[in-house]
Amino acid sequence: MEKLLCAIILSLLPFTGVQAAINPFKPYMPLNRIDYSHNISLPKDATSIAYRPESFAQTSLLPAGLLATSFLFDDYKLDKSIVQLGTLKSPSLKAADYVQFSPAAVLFALKLSGLEGRSDWPRMITAGIISTVLCVSVNQTTKIAVGRERPDGSTRNSYPSGHTATAFVCAQMLHNEYGQTVSPWISVCGYGLAASTGFCRIISDRHWCSDVLGGAALGIFTTQVAYYLTDCIFGEHGLKRPVVVQDIDETTHWKFGLYSDYSIGADVFTSQGYGNPDTKPACSIGIDATWMPWYIGPTLRAGLTQMKWTGSDDIYLPHMGSVADVYTVGAGFDLDIPIISRITLNGQAIAGYSPKTNSYSFLDSGNQPLEWDIPAGMHCYGNLGMTVRTSAFSSISVHGGLDYYDKVWRSFVLGARFNFTF
């Protein structure tokens, strides 16, 4: 009875977030406050609620945003205009086969070392089995239903990326077990490895950018569903360490984002002899890291842009060819100005460089050669938009901006950024 009364009283408290003092080089300090008001998954008592302070709706917003962005991406037009002849083999193709399981390797290494996470072994294994079964089932069903051709032309099962989905299942489990309970840097490691898996699949021409976003959404969502089902099965049994996160209104924080942009209009500069009048940027994807000591902070960014052919006829890649990608690294600053609770005005300014000159060869419908020459050069970027704090650990930004690649293109973009925040 006392536990029930405690849970009722705490559930009536206003939303305060979860308070913790965070040192980026040490685990979390003990929590002082937990948000009980929106939790519906573990209603038995205050002790069990402490292990999941966020509702299912809150944790579903980020994968829903990833999924929506994957549908909107311009690269759905690419597979209708660039036809691959033959397949591509590259080191990145093989690397993804192993990297996809690396977050799981970190998870089991921590568990075997004796460091307690959120769950004991039976509870964690059950969640892993359910998430794997759900992810594989939905992934294979969707691949068959969509029937999208891969960039290398090998099969018609490109969307969503199974490797990326698997990697994000493992990364989300690592986040749930240790990132939320021991140190957020464990989550950074897991999500970084998962994102690397997706980039390897794009670089090796096995997937389009939207396939990777769809795979990430699938992996995160099915894992969250699995954890809620596991909570229903086990109740309070096997819970070892409660969730600890920072105050949602804390100014100083870190952000690690997966960003995605698609071009809504581009001018390609051909007078200097670069590019092709029917060649334009289609979409971009990458990662960034930001430290926010105040309302403005430094940020680092790395990513790639896929090019598209806008001519009236299809073009063909020769054997061992590849879809054109432009790689960029950069640094700048990120701006976050609070407007109302959970919503901020967000902006970025990035000065970058595309370090590699690339030449791509194609064949037109008349079997005549085409050349795309994309030089190394300055690649600057800026955007302005809104950020919504979806949970204590995540936020979503929607923005519009300008992508300027010196002597190559100027493109207006719309995009989104999916942030792990602590």
* Over residues 377-381, mean pLDDT: 95
Dist CA 275 CA 262 (whole Å): 19
What would the two tokens of residue 242 be?
A: 């409660």
> Can you give the pLDDT at residue 22?
34
Burial pattern 131-149, b for ≥16 Cβ within 10 A else e, equals bbebbbebbeebbeeeebb
* Over residues 347-354, mean pLDDT: 97
Would you tell me how many other CB atoms lie within 10 Å of the CB of residue 63? 25
The answer to whether the CB of 287 falls within 8 A of the CB of 302 is yes
The answer to whether the CB of 151 falls within 8 A of the CB of 158 is yes
Segment among 245-249, 254-258, 284-288, 294-298 with least mean pLDDT:
245-249
pLDDT at 217 over 60: yes
Would you tell me how many other CB atoms lie within 10 Å of the CB of residue 369? 9
251: left (phi over 0), alpha (psi -120 to 50) or beta: alpha
78 burial level (CB within 10 Å; 0-12, 13-18, 19+): buried
342: left (phi over 0), alpha (psi -120 to 50) or beta: left
Segment among 152-156, 350-354, 417-421 with least mean pLDDT:
152-156
* Over residues 246-253, mean pLDDT: 66
What's the whole-model pTM score? Answer: 0.86
Backbone angles phi, psi at 106, to 5 degrees: -65, -45
Name 399's bridge partners.
385, 415
> Can you give the pLDDT at residue 105?
96
Helix (H), strand (E), coil (C) string for 64-83: HHHHHHHHHCHHHCHHHCEE
CATH 2.40.160.20, the chain: domain bounds: 253-421
pLDDT at 133 over 60: yes
Greater pLDDT, 296 or 54: 296
23 burial level (CB within 10 Å; 0-12, 13-18, 19+): exposed
pLDDT band with cut points at 50, 70 and 90 for residue 245: low
> Can you give the pLDDT at residue 93?
63
> Can you give the pLDDT at residue 259?
96
**Mean pLDDT of all residues belonging to the chain:** 82
pLDDT at 180 over 50: yes
327-344 per-position pLDDT tens digit: 999 999 999 999 988 899
**Sign of the torsion angle spanned by Cα atoms 166, 224, 394, 403:** positive
Dist CA 147 CA 76 (whole Å): 12
Would you tell me how many other CB atoms lie within 10 Å of the CB of residue 333? 15
Greater pLDDT, 45 or 422: 422
CA angle (26, 29, 35) in 5-degree steps: 130
pLDDT band with cut points at 50, 70 and 90 for residue 57: confident
pLDDT at 417 over 90: yes
Helix (H) / strand (E) containing 189: helix 184-203
**Helix, strand or coil, per DSSP, at residue 316:** strand
Sequence-ordered list of residues with C-beta below 8 angstroms from that of 22, at least 6 positions apart, any chain:
28, 29, 184, 246, 422
Greater pLDDT, 232 or 174: 174
Name 398's bridge partners.
386, 416
Angle of helix 121-146 relative to helix 209-234, nearest 10 degrees, comes to 140
95-126 per-position pLDDT tens digit: 778 899 999 999 999 999 999 999 999 999 99
Tell me which of 1.10.10.10, 3.40.47.10, 1.10.150.120, 2.40.160.20 is the CATH number of domain 253-421: 2.40.160.20
Helix (H), strand (E), coil (C) string for 117-171: CCECHHHHHHHHHHHHHHHHHHHHHHHHHHCCCCCCCCCCCCCCCHHHHHHHHHH
Greater pLDDT, 159 or 245: 159
Sequence-ordered list of residues with C-beta below 8 angstroms from that of 220, at least 6 positions apart, any chain:
62, 63, 66, 168, 172
pLDDT band with cut points at 50, 70 and 90 for residue 303: very high
Long-range contact pairs involving 2-5 (C-beta distance under 8 Å, separation at least 24): 3/44, 3/45, 3/46, 3/47, 4/45
* Over residues 212-232, mean pLDDT: 95
The answer to whether the CB of 291 falls within 8 A of the CB of 298 is yes
Greater pLDDT, 57 or 386: 386
The answer to whether the CB of 176 falls within 8 A of the CB of 170 is no
Q: DSSP E strands: which ranges in 150-278?
A: 253-268
Sequence-ordered list of residues with C-beta below 8 angstroms from that of 344, at least 6 positions apart, any chain:
336, 337, 338, 386, 387, 389
Dist CA 223 CA 169 (whole Å): 6
